[in-house]
Amino acid sequence: MTAAARVTLDARQSADRVWRLVGGFDSLPDWLPYIAESRPSEGGRLRTLTNAEGGVIVERLEAFDEAARSYSYSIVRAPFPVTGYRSTLQVVDRGGEGCRVEWSGTFTADGVTDAEAAALFEGIYRDGLAALAETLTT
């Protein structure tokens, strides 16, 4: 069975401005303090992330759409209790209202319940978008 998580952030900034910050597959350290380093490989299709505690997460870019301001990625290696993870980060233009950032993922829980896996990623997405909101106001 597939579980899912989804978190959104409404921002006053333009979609173009927010996409310039988050749209690079290798840009997580620019707005996510939890990620200390991102090293691209395979022509930018793979990123090796190192978190603040030294843990390593490897993710593969699966789809990128500049016009839709979105990219999707999968986990190659990570300490998370899931398999089949696929996530999408998208910035949606809301005209004069700014934009909405949507971070969502689907996965199969492995060794935990679907609810526990969903709660884990909802927390990661929520904390990540809170960090993005903080970065946008500085």
Task: Give pLDDT tens digits for 21-76.
Answer: 999 999 999 999 999 999 999 999 999 999 989 999 999 999 999 999 999 999 99
Task: Give pLDDT tens digits for 86-110.
Answer: 999 999 999 889 999 999 999 999 9
Whole-number Å distance between alpha carbons of 39 and 66: 21
21's tokens: 């910050």
CB 85 within 8 A of CB 75: yes
CB 48 within 8 A of CB 67: no
CA atoms in the 13 A half-sphere facing the CB of 128: 21
